[in-house]
Every structure is written in structure tokens, then in C-alpha cells.
Structure 1
Amino acid sequence: MASSEPQPANKQPHVLLIPYPAQGHVNPFLKLAKALHARGFHVTFVHTEYNHGRLLRARGAGAFDAGAEGFRFETIPDGLPPSDLDATQDIWALCEATRRTGPAAVRGLVERLNRTDGVPPVSCVVADGAMGYVVHVAKEMSLPAYLFFTHSGCGFVAYLNFDQLVKRGYVPFKDETFFTNGYLDTPVDWIADMLPGARLRDLPTFIRTTDPDDTMLTIIIKQCELDSPVADGILLNTFDDLERCSLDAIRARLPNTFTVGPLGPEVSPPSYLPSLTSSLWRDDDRCAAWLDGHGAEEDSKGSVVYVNFGSITVVTGEQMDEFAWGLAAAGCPFLWVVRPDTVRDAGGWALPKGFAEAVAGRGLTVGWCDQEAVLEHRATGGFLSHCGWNSTLESLRAGVPLLCWPFFSEQVTNCRYACEEWGVGLEMPREAGRREVEAAVRELMGAQGRGGTARRRAAEWKEKARAAVAPGGSSRVNLDRFIQEIARAKC
């Protein structure tokens, strides 16, 4: 991954990267940014002012010190009222606000960068698919523009059919009873590139609305019907062997689609610009030593279940109590991430009385962690996950089977594929109580049955994922092709 030879500033291609301001989007964007910088590009990475503040509080000023020339950070407003909360913002409000106020902010940023001494003019823009308005701004400024969708290919196929769901009368729902009367089990077999037997409940949860003017429904249709076709290309953090049918469907509509995943150490190693991190919470530094203590012996390899509901999921205190006692009853060691904002009940949430004593020596609860390091650790044998795409892909890359508890968006789609197509997952009921949690964890961690099968399939996908990003692999070839394409735009 040696960098290209230094070039004069005015000759160096300059890529502006604009992620959607949520943890699951920022993570792969920073990996892509490092990969581009390592290959000789000047990179400007754009945070919102809100997330910039969160990173400063969590990491200090060092979070923005690349220690290398040609990697800079900039900020734009998100259009929401100022706030010092250390929490993920409301997704609906954030999407509406960024789309409303973002175009002027991005245009002003590009103009300012182009006037900055020692900084090459912006030659290409890569924006998050959820920030699709950026494509139109870039085109007005005669700049090549690409969209990086950080969700799964199967999720993208579903989103590409939102317009048809409305035109065919499936969405919006007629009234509130449609959420519970079995309507969600309606087949959608006309979406030819979805899994056989796919139902409305397997599509991203943004279809679950009775409002014809629903913010997310409207914005997603715009992203797919108005923004994506205008982009010069589409990037996806997935790989061909994993989602071939979905990718065929996407490329039929958007031919210049690059699969570049799983973006990880092979294309953006931890040793490259190590001070730069995208985590909006501070990692708990006890995790590595604790895992070492539970994976030192051969018979303890893969004994730990890792539990993390992601960066957005919010649950009730009652649900957390049920998960706590279910994990305690399952009997295996566990590492449980409980974000400070996981529960937003009045007064927050505390571990149930007697829980710490019940799991002493075999349970560690932390506020945040280096998830990739945890999944790669020899002690980790299962992942109770919300099925966000980063988590799903990182588990596949590490060869760790999933216990799926999807919450919203395309997490339900990822769950369906993990369980039915890729064979690496077991689904847990949405309203799981302590008994269901206990039974599901025991099944996942078991050597036989469905857990054993998922573990074997996960090991197979691990090899395929790593092959995709190795030299000559499909994703490495696509990343190189993308880099050549945007480098030519400078010429």
C-alpha cells in the first residue's frame, strides 16, 4: 500500500468525501479515505459540526491530526439546532435537514477549498448515498461525483424498488392495523432479485408508514430515482461472491457500480495513519485483556459471545433487563456493549440488582469498543447483533456467526439474507424476553445444530471475504479501477 510519488499540489487529484453523519456511515468512509490517501490522493473528509464536536470530546484534537500531508478535515452544518448531546441524532430530522441545507454548505466548502493556498482544487466528490443531493451540486460545479452507499447490496435492491412499492399500492399502509394484521407477510415475489419468499417485513422498515409524504420514504425514492442515475458511479461496501444476484440487479440499472468491500485492513490497515479514527465514542481499553483471559486455552477458543446493538438502536430499560438476565442464564462468557444512549428512559438505565454478582468473572459490560478487534479475537465465537451492515460484514470477514436481532431500516433485510442465503445467522424474536435470549445464545454458541452449521458457513465466508480484497480479488480490482477512473478526472 505504498503511496504514489508526491506530486505538486496543483497536479494532485483532490477527493472530497462527504459521509452521512452517523457512526455506521462514517466508519467505511474513513477507511475509503485512507485507502485513497495511501494511493496518492489529497483527501478532504467532511464531518458535520455536531459530529466534529463529538469526536473532539471523545478523542481530543488528535482525532483530526493525520500526521501526514494531504489529509484534511472540514465541517459543514447539519441544519439542526445546536446540541452538545453525545448521541446519534434523530435520523428522520437529520435526513430532512441535511437535504434542505446541505447544497449551499457543500457549494461554499468547495469554493473555499479551491481558494486555499497549498491545497489542490477539488477534482472529484464522493458522497454518501444518503447525501445524494451532493451529486447535483457537484454537477453544477462541473465535478465528477460518485455515491457511496454504505448499506448492503440486498438492501439497495429493496430501496431501488421503493418507487414501485408506492406505484403498485403496497405503500403507504392504509391504516395502523396493517402493522399487526398480517399485512407485513404479503409476498413481494415480483422483486425478482430478492430472495424467494421475500415478504414486506423483509424490506427496509421505512416502508412501514401510513403517510404518503413520509420523510424517509420520499427521500429514499429521490436517492434512487433522481440522485443515483446522475452520479458518475456507485460504490458499495460488499463483494461479488456474497451478493451476486443483488449486484446483477443493481448494475442493470446503474452499470458503473464498484464493489470495494469489505473495506478493512487489506485496503486500509490500522498501521496507516493510526491516529485517525472514526469512533464517536471512546473505546474501553479493558476489552483486549479481558478477551485474552477468556481465549488463552485451546478449549476456550470461540467461547465468548459479543453483544452490540450498534450505534443507533434505542431500547427500553425493561428490554435491557431481559437481555441482561438472558445473558446471565446462558452461562457463556460475554462482552456486552451498552452505549450511553442505548436507553433514553427518564433516569437512564443501570445494571439490574444482583446482575454483576451473577456474572462475575464471565461478563464484561462496556460503553464502546473496537468492534473489529473484538470480532477478530480468538476468544469471540458468536455475535448477538442488530444486523447493521458494518457489523454483518465485519462478522463475515472475521468468520463469526450471528444471532440476529434487527431493529430498523435494511437491518431486517440483512437478517433475512444472513439466515436464509448466507447461512451464518439465527434470528431471535423481535420481542425476545430473557428465556428467548438464553435459548438463542445457547443455540448460537453450541457446537452442533444450527449454531454449529452457522459457524462452519461463517468460516467459509471468511475465506471468500478475504479473497475479495486480496490482490487480484474482485473488490481489489474494482477499487483499483475506481481509483484509475477518478485519477483520470484530474488530467
Structure 2
Amino acid sequence: MANTHRRPHAIMIPYPYQGHINPFVYLAMKLASQGFTITFLNTQFVHFRISKAQTQNNREDIFTKARESGLDIRYATVSDGFPMEFDRSVNHDQFAEGLLHVFSAHVDELVGNLVKSDPPVTCIIADTFYVWTSAIATKYNLVSVSFWTEPALVLSLYYHLELLKKNGHFPSNDNRKDTIDYIPGVKAIEPSDLMSYLQAADISTVVHRVIYRAFEDVKKADIIICNTVQELESETLSALHVKQPTYAIGPIVSAGFSKRTVSTSLWSESDCTQWLNTKPSGSVLYVSFGSHARTASRKDIMEIAHGISLSGVNFVWVIRPDIVSSDETEILPDGFEKSMRGRGLIVQWCSQIKVISHPAIGGFLSHCGWNSVLESIWCSVPLICFPLFTDQFTNRKLVVNDWKIGINLSDKALITREEVAEKIKRLMSGKSSEELRNAVKEVSSRLENALATDGSSHRNFNLFIEDLKAKLQNRYGPGDESTNHIWAP
């Protein structure tokens, strides 16, 4: 391809879940502010959900205001292969099959058109969980960047699946139960802290096929970027970097990574500010189990509700109607909401960063999704950890064991209301609460320092840009003098 007046043009493809979309959006803003042309790709279903939640004109998109401020962020939608009415949560496995086999054909067609655009697309930045990124990058001669939206520890464990297999820790019904101490850059981890898919008895699922293929495909990427911080996972990141260029550029949270706000929520948000303004500083527990549907049992939710009641603390609780893994419609104890009036606020969804950054919030009872962990640290809010699936068990290990900024809700199979109440009290008051607060403030300062002008994430972001620049120049030849400024750190 000829290249004389070429701007770098990246197509960015998040996995179609809230926790993946958010960091992709903030990264798109930052890359565009560095002179990139961005084509941001959402599925038509995700676009519909965001538009509906914002009650905005469906012809607009999330980057309309960003373009008005001069950023070249283009927006595209393609079908994920399913009708709009198809329930992607209830039919999760069928949906995952579609992302494997159908969505990629729509992406391929779009990229084929974008290589003829002005400027032509030169780079693909895709979620690591996509299994077809390298094939599309090769077909259209694009630089391939794999964007990992979870901690480096989780990436490294998936990356070294062959070592886990070789040593008998995965995949069988009689896996070894002893400490895993042979993963490069990972000191030691217990099997109970592995991601849920690596602890599962049934390893024949579509998700396991995605994992096997995605973590072979990532090894073909030109560059890996991670939503984490060098100082928090330095050994793990260094070991990955030996294998292929890997840059920690996090925390990619709206409050720190992008000064501009973009509405990305898939649900309509309640504003909790007025209610929180009536509560004393540090007195409110925030409770949320994330954006993925049907991941908790009704019994656990009931015990947590009773535990919150027994604890006596003020609380904001995000309860989506589809949170439990059954068809139950009544998921809270009879009369709970009425009896907690004044003490508690129950909403279906809210702006999490807006709530946990409020001075009234003193703790976060969380499923330990990675975005939630990063946002909680950013706002210096300690955690109670209630992991439900996927990376959340491994994230809990970092929060509780490594950084000591949270406590585990329960080590037992069954949660009890008494244990819930006791853990909430430990989090919200007394000596243990003070220790947790001091620890999370220290980790929070590391996150802030990483994004500062001389911080590790700022430097790594610039190194990523320089590495990408070099690979683009090797592939397409140097750009002209008039566009060199766009590569300046």
C-alpha cells in the first residue's frame, strides 16, 4: 500500500459486554486526542441498548460530542448475528457461538470497506477474547493490538494454559489441589483463586473453546495492552513482555483516563446524589454485583439482604431485575425495601463512579469485576468481595491477599446473614476498617501516580504509541513530515 499522507487509523472492537465496552471507549478518546482516526465498532444490539438507556436520538452515537470537540472518532455498528429481540443473557452459549462464527464475518466485511476509506484503516485494536483478530489483521495487512481489559495475572494464567495442563492443575475432575508456583511472573496462586472456567468440572462448553482459541490467537498479536498498573503487577507484566510487547496503560477509568464523559451505560441510570447528600461521610455501603445477568442465587441475595439489615449501616444497592440465576421475580425478603426506607436506597442501575466517589460512601460490597475494583481503588473505597464467576475469583485474590484492601465475604459454600453483618461492620468501622482505608489510599495513590506525566502508565502509553508507530512504518513506510506531530507523546 502506498503511504504518503497517512494518519494512523485504528478500528476498535470491544467485546459486547458493559465491562469491556467502557475501557474501550475511554481508550478510544485518548488515542483520538493523540491524533488517531478511530472507527469504533459496536454491535447493533449494544448501540440500541445504549441509545434506549440515554433516551437519545437513535441516529446519534456516543461520540457525537467528542467529534464536536475535534476528535476524529467514527462510529460503526454491525449485526452480531441475532435478532434484536433475542435474549443474549438467557441464551448465553448460543450467543457466544454467534460471536465465534457469525460476528467475525460482519467485522471482516466492514474492515474490507475501511481499508478503502480516507485515511485507510491501518490497525485493529480488538478485545483479547475474540478468536479471529489475527486472521482479519493478516488478511488486510493491519497491525494487530490485543486489548486485555482485566488484570495481568488473569492474562498470564490463560496465556500459560499449557503449563497448567502439563502440571495437572487443569483440565480434569481430579485436578491437583496444591499451590501453583510455576507460572512465569506469578509467585504462587491457589487453585481456588483461578478463574471459574479453570475450576469448572465441565470443560466442553463454548466458553472453553473461546478461551482455548483466544489465548492462542493473542500470541500472534503485534502488541498487547493491559488495563492495569505496572507497580501493582510488575513481575507478571515483565514476564509477559519477554514473550511479546506488553504495556500496562491503566487504570482506564473515566475519572482518570479521559477528562471527557461519554454515556456508555446499557441501562437507564438513577441519580443517587441527592439521597447520598443527606448521609454522613463514610457511612454508606455501596452494593453492586455488576452488569452480567443471572449470576447470583436467590438464596445468597436473601442472606445478603438480611445481613445488611442486621448490620445497621446505610446502603445503596443496585439490583437489576435479572440478577438471580432463576426465574424468581421476588428476590428480596418480604417487606425489605419498606423496612429499610431512609436507611437504604435500592436502584436498578446507577453511574457507579459517580456514586462511589461521593464522600458518603465508606465501603463497596462487590462481585470484584475488574472495572469495579479499579474504580473502588481510584476512589479509595475498601471492598467486601463476593465473586460470582470468571476473573472475579482471581481479582479477589489480588484485593484480599496481595494488596490487602478488602475482605472476603465468605470462604464457605453457603453465605449466612450473620457472617454478612459481621463483615460489613468490619469494613465500615473499627480498627480493621481503618487499616483497610489506609491500605486502599496507598494503592489509590499508585494509580494516580501511574497516570501522572512522569508515571508508569503515561510512559507505557507513549511506548505503546512509539511501538505502534514503528510497526506501522515498517509495514507501510514513513508518513510525511506534516503528520509526524501526531506521534508526539
Q: TM-score, normalised by structure 2?
A: 0.88
Encode CA deviations 1:137-173: one digit per residue, 9 max, x unaligned. Answer: 1122111010001011111121122222223333222
Aligned residues: 461
Contact 1:92 / 1:216 at 8 angstroms: preserved in 2? yes
TM alignment of 1:62-73, pairs within 5 A: 62-67=60-65, 68=67, 70-73=72-75
Residue matched to 2:107: 106
SS in 1 for 2:31: helix
1:186 pairs, out of 178, 197, 200, with 178
* CA distance in 2: counterparts of 1:344 and 1:265, whole angstroms: 30
Q: Map 1:13-52 to 2 at 5 A.
A: 13-52=8-47
- Once residues 84 and 462 of structure 1 are traced to their aligned partners in structure 2, the CA distance between those partners, rounded to angstroms, is 42
What secondary structure is seen at the aligned counterpart in 2 of 1:378?
coil
Question: Separation in 2 of the partners of 1:344 and 1:98?
Answer: 23
1:292 CA displacement: 1.6
Mapping of residues 2-401 of structure 1, within 5 Å: 11-59=6-54, 60=56, 61=58, 62-67=60-65, 68=67, 70-79=72-81, 81-84=82-85, 88=89, 91-116=92-117, 119-174=118-173, 185-191=177-183, 193-196=185-188, 198-211=189-202, 213-224=204-215, 226-254=216-244, 256-265=245-254, 268-270=257-259, 272=260, 274=261, 276-285=262-271, 287-294=272-279, 300-312=280-292, 314-349=295-330, 351-401=332-382
> Alpha-carbon deviation of 1:39?
1.9
Which range is displaced more, 481-490 or 65-74?
481-490
Deviation at 1:380, TM superposition (A): 1.1
Q: Which residue type is aligned with residue 417 of structure 2?
A: R
* Aligned CA distance change for structure 1 residues 10 and 343 (closer, same or farther; 3 Å): farther
Residues 63/328 of structure 1: CA separation in 2 closer, same or farther (3 Å cut): farther
Supply the distance in 2 between the matched residues of 1:91 and 1:130 (Cα, whole angstroms).
Answer: 15
Q: CA deviation at 1:401?
A: 0.7
Output one character per residue of 1:298-326: Cα deviation in whole Å (capped at 9) or x when no partner: xx321111111011152233322222121
Aligned partner letter, 1:259? A
What is the distance in 1 between the residues matched to 2:438 and 2:167? 41
Give the secondary-structure state (helix, strand or coil) at the position aligned to 1:188.
Answer: coil
Structure 1 residue 264, shift from structure 2 partner: 2.8
Structure 1 letter corresponding to 2:268: R
Deviation at 1:242, TM superposition (A): 0.7
Partner Cα separation in structure 2 for residue 184 and residue 330 of structure 1: 39
Distance 1:86 1:487, change over 3 A: farther
CA spacing shift, 1:215–1:184, aligned 2, 3 Å = farther
- Structure 1 residue 350, shift from structure 2 partner: 5.0
Residue by residue over 1:345-399, the C-alpha shift from the partner in whole angstroms, topping out at 9 and shown as x without a partner, is 3352354322123222120111111111222111111111111111111111111
Aligned-residue identity in percent = 33
Matched-pair contact (CA < 8 Å) for 2:185–2:237: no
The superposition leaves residues 406-437 of structure 1 with CA deviations (integer Å, 9 ceiling, x where unpaired) of 11111111111211110101001153122221
Asked if the contact 1:49/1:78 (under 8 Å) is kept, the reply is yes
Per-residue CA deviation, residues 35-55 of structure 1 (Å, 9 max, x unaligned), is 111222221111112212212
CA distance in 2, matches of 1:93, 1:167: 31
Give TM-score, length-normalised by structure 1. Answer: 0.88
Instruction: Show structure 1 runs of 4+ deviating over 6 A.
Output: none
Q: In structure 1, how many angstroms separate the alpha carbons of the residues matched to 2:115 and 2:90?
A: 31
Runs (5+) with no aligned partner, structure 1: 1-8, 295-299
Q: CA RMSD in A?
A: 2.4
Q: Is this contact kept in 1: 2:247–2:460, CA < 8 A?
A: yes
- 2:455 alignment counterpart: 473
What displacement does 1:184 show?
Answer: 7.4
